[in-house]
């Protein structure tokens, strides 16, 4: 029997720390359900002390998820640990993950603490967390730049205090595979009580080495990897779950461990996370990129036709790609629609919500005859926007574009229940539309990103638009989908404006106090 490699997913916590990727409670629940179907061992659902909203999201995930352990992050502070313990009360299996920085630069510049003080805080935090659950994880933040002797001392102390998982984070993505693997091996060998804990790694991708560093750690004794769907995460992101899992599975001849992941659920999860966060997946991304299993060059195609192994090391079906993905069409009924949506992990809160979604499904099916899971996922994203959060709504949009003429857009919005109409010219119809909306709303937000992706293939596909806005240091991503990309753009811009209008005073776990 091979050892189990524990997959700890932190899409809902570290992934959410990507600029503009913050998620609502309902969005977190949808992703958590998909992660449970993927069979991840642990779902890090958030940082409960960040805000009331974050607390409630972790609590909701803890109450719903049954097959995966639900984890909450806490700084090494009594109040954070108590909030995490409280939020996780309803979980079938819960874990508290507490951390404190251990690198010389973090201890001096961020914490202003000596090594002894840091050890004292860490031990106290682990003991307090153990009052809530037996499953306590400790991370020495910025371990990648910490002194090994100090890591040995603090890790030995937290194991004695009751930590059962020791996570070694390469917080700033500074490590190199061979060296990082050697560090993990050395820590396991040097810490006298290391057999009482599982060693874990959490690698950031600043040098593009997060997956390589994680795999090197696994080859040197780590038995938990922290990772995210699509490699989402702070700055350049975290190690990508799909790449770690498929590397271990595909190269089972090299790895002496295995995961319990149901790899056929990978693609659905990837698309869901991308559509909720507004972070598109690059076409050449391993495993989940649109080109990952597409063989276009003639020589490759010829080779594939004779024998698929010529150029394929994995089967597309094993990660969720399938040839015939049409699921519903124009004539599909309400029951078929509802049951497919339920299979995708979404429950309607009321008959009215189902009726509204079904009506929008019918409108879409009129414009686009074949409806795929991806279309349904986008439709659900719109269903789950809370009416209370929609201060601004799109009522109508008319655009004019003619060769040699300047494009013009006329937009009618409902702003706090009052209809207003405005127009603008622009460089193109999208530009004119967004300017017309801005003329009406006067948000003064800075447009940081505008991108369009097709949800499925074909010219009748829905376009999914992401708009990133920044105002007074707050960054939000807005999403909109429609078979008409100008309408999708207007929806995305309005979605981002609504998010900016909704107060959010959350704390970042790694930038404050301890
Ligand atoms: O990158 C990091 O160090 C973290 C810790 C909180 C584990 O995300
Ligand atoms: Zn991190």
Q: For residue 482, how far is its CA from the centre of ligand 1 (angstroms)? A: 37
| 514 vs 308 pLDDT, higher one | 308
* CA–CA separation, 313 and 304 (whole Å): 11
Place of tokens 């100090």: 150
Nearest residue by C-alpha to atom 8 in ligand 1: 14
Structure tokens at 337: 């629609």
Place of tokens 């972070």: 279
* CA–CA separation, 453 and 325 (whole Å): 18
pLDDT at 62 over 90: yes
pLDDT at 322 over 80: no
Q: For residue 14, how far is its CA from the centre of ligand 2 (angstroms)? A: 5
* 3-class SS letters over 408-423: EEEEEEEECCEEEEEE
Query: How large is the average pLDDT for residues 317-331?
Result: 80
The backbone region for 368, taken as left when phi is positive above 0, alpha when psi lies in -120 to 50, beta otherwise, is: beta
Sequence-distant (6+) residues with CB within 8 A of 51 are 504, 505, 506, 507
Residue 495 to residues 59, 334, 492, 499, Cα–Cα distance (Å): 26, 28, 5, 6
Query: How large is the average pLDDT for residues 23-39?
Result: 94
pLDDT for the residue numbered 304: 67
Structure tokens at 3: 């050892």
Structure tokens at 420: 């207003």
pLDDT for the residue numbered 325: 60
Q: For residue 27, how far is its CA from the centre of ligand 1 (angstroms)? A: 22
Query: How large is the average pLDDT for residues 468-473?
Result: 93
Give tens-digit pLDDT for 202-240: 999 999 999 999 999 999 999 999 999 999 999 999 999
Query: How large is the average pLDDT for residues 375-397?
Result: 85
Select from 16, 204, 227 the residue to mutate for testing ligand 1; criterion: most ligand atoms less than 8 Å from CB.
Answer: 204
Ligand 1 atom at minimal distance to the Cα of residue 73 = 6
pLDDT at 324 over 60: no
Select from 8, 10, 14, 507 the residue to mutate for testing ligand 1; criterion: most ligand atoms less than 8 Å from CB.
Answer: 14
pLDDT at 116 over 70: yes
pLDDT at 505 over 90: no
- Confidence class for position 326, pLDDT limits 50, 70, 90: low
Nearest residue by C-alpha to atom 4 in ligand 1: 171
Q: For residue 510, how far is its CA from the centre of ligand 2 (angstroms)? A: 9
Bridge partner residues of 167 (DSSP):
200
pLDDT for the residue numbered 435: 98
Nearest residue by C-alpha to atom 5 in ligand 1: 141
Q: For residue 6, how far is its CA from the centre of ligand 1 (angstroms)? A: 17
Q: Which residue segments constitute the domains of the chain, with CATH numbers given?
A: 3-277 (3.20.20.70), 293-322 (no CATH), 325-371 (no CATH), 387-501 (3.30.160.270)
pLDDT for the residue numbered 170: 98
Query: How large is the average pLDDT for residues 248-258?
Result: 98
Bridge partner residues of 480 (DSSP):
465
Ligand 1 pocket member 170 (CB < 6 A): no
pLDDT for the residue numbered 278: 87
Query: How large is the average pLDDT for residues 487-513?
Result: 87
pLDDT for the residue numbered 11: 98
Of 327-341, 376-390, 488-502, which range is least confident?
376-390
Sequence-distant (6+) residues with CB within 8 A of 101 are 107, 110, 111, 118, 140, 141, 142
Ligand 1 pocket member 169 (CB < 6 A): yes
pLDDT for the residue numbered 347: 83
Query: How large is the average pLDDT for residues 147-159?
Result: 98
pLDDT for the residue numbered 305: 66
**Average pLDDT of every residue of the chain:** 93
- Confidence class for position 301, pLDDT limits 50, 70, 90: low
Query: How large is the average pLDDT for residues 151-168?
Result: 98
Query: How large is the average pLDDT for residues 168-179?
Result: 98
pLDDT for the residue numbered 508: 85
Report the b/e string of 307-343 with b at 16+ CB within 10 A.
eeeeeeebebeebbbeeeeebbeeebeeeebbebbee
Ligand 1 pocket member 16 (CB < 6 A): no
pLDDT for the residue numbered 148: 98
Ligand 1 atom at minimal distance to the Cα of residue 143 = 3
The helix-helix angle for 52-64 and 25-38 (nearest 10°) equals 30
Give tens-digit pLDDT for 329-366: 889 999 999 998 988 778 888 899 999 999 999 999 99
| 64 vs 296 pLDDT, higher one | 64
Ligand 1 atom at minimal distance to the Cα of residue 226 = 7
Whether 436 and 424 have beta carbons less than 8 Å apart is answered as yes
- Using DSSP's 3-state secondary structure scheme, residue 38 falls into helix
Select from 49, 80, 171 the residue to mutate for testing ligand 1; criterion: most ligand atoms less than 8 Å from CB.
Answer: 171
| 297 vs 109 pLDDT, higher one | 109
| 353 vs 7 pLDDT, higher one | 7
Cα angle, residue 296 at apex, residues 295 and 298 outer, rounded to 5°: 105
Instruction: Tell me which residues have their CB within 5 A of the ion that is ligand 2.
Output: 14
Q: For residue 245, how far is its CA from the centre of ligand 1 (angstroms)? A: 21
pLDDT for the residue numbered 156: 98
**What pTM value is reported for the model?**
0.91
- Confidence class for position 498, pLDDT limits 50, 70, 90: very high
């Amino acid at each position: 029997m091979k050892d189990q490699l524990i997959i700890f997913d932190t899409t809902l916590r570290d992934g959410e720390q990507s600029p503009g990727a913050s998620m609502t409670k309902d969005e977190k629940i949808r992703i958590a359900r998909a992660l449970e179907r993927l069979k991840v061992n642990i779902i890090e659902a958030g940082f409960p002390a960040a805000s009331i909203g974050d607390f409630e999201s972790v609590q909701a995930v803890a109450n719903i998820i049954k097959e995966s352990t639900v984890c909450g992050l806490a700084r090494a502070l009594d109040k954070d640990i108590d909030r995490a313990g409280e939020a996780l009360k309803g979980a079938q299996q819960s874990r508290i993950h507490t951390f404190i920085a251990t690198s010389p630069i973090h201890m001096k510049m961020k914490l202003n603490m000596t090594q002894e003080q840091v050890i004292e805080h860490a031990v106290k935090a682990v003991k307090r967390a153990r009052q809530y659950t037996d499953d306590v994880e400790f991370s020495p933040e910025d371990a990648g730049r910490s002194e090994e002797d100090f890591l040995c001392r603090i890790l030995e102390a937290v194991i004695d205090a009751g930590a059962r998982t020791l996570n070694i984070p390469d917080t700033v993505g500074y490590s190199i595979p061979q060296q990082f693997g050697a560090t993990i091996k050395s820590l396991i060998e040097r810490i006298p009580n290391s057999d009482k804990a599982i060693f874990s790694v959490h690698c950031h991708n600043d040098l593009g080495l997060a997956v390589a560093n994680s795999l090197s750690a696994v080859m040197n004794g780590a038995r938990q990897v922290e990772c995210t769907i699509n490699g989402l995460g702070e700055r350049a992101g975290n190690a990508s779950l799909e790449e770690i899992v498929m590397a271990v599975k595909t190269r089972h001849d090299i790895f002496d461990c295995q995961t319990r992941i149901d790899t056929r659920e990978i693609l659905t999860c990837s698309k869901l996370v991308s559509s909720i966060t507004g972070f598109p997946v690059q076409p050449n991304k391993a495993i989940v990129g649109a080109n990952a299993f597409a063989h276009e060059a003639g020589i490759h195609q010829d080779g594939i036709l004779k024998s698929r192994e010529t150029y394929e090391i994995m089967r597309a079906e094993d990660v969720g790609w399938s040839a015939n993905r049409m699921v519903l069409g124009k004539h599909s009924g309400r029951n078929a629609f509802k049951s497919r949506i339920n299979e995708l992990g979404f429950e309607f809160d009321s008959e009215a919500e189902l009726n509204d979604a079904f009506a929008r499904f019918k409108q879409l099916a009129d414009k686009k005859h074949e409806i795929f899971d991806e279309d349904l996922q986008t439709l659900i994203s719109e269903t789950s926007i809370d009416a209370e959060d929609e201060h601004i709504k799109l009522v109508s949009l008319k655009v004019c574009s003619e060769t040699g003429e300047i494009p013009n857009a006329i937009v009618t919005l409902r702003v706090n229940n009052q209809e207003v109409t405005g127009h603008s010219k622009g460089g193109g119809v999208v530009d004119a539309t967004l300017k017309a909306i801005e003329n009406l709303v006067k948000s003064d937000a800075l447009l940081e990103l505008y991108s369009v992706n097709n949800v499925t293939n074909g010219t009748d596909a829905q376009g999914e638009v992401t708009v990133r806005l920044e105002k007074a240091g707050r960054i939000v991503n807005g999403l909109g989908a429609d078979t008409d990309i100008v309408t999708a753009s207007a929806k995305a811009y309005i979605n981002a404006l609504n998010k900016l209008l909704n107060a959010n005073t959350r704390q970042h776990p790694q930038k404050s106090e301890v």
